[in-house]
Amino acid sequence: MAVRPVGDEDVRLLSVLPGPSFGTRTEGTAGMGEDLGALAAQAPAGRPAEPEEIAYLASDAASFVHGAVLPVDGGRTAV
Q: What is the pLDDT of residues 9-59, one digit of tens each?
A: 667 778 888 887 877 666 655 555 667 778 778 888 888 888 888 888 888
Cβ(19)–Cβ(72) under 8 Å? yes
Alpha helices in the chain (DSSP H): 32-40, 51-55
- Residues whose CB is less than 8 angstroms from the CB of residue 2 and which lie 6 or more positions away in sequence, other chains included: 67
Checking if the pLDDT of 63 tops 60, the result is: yes
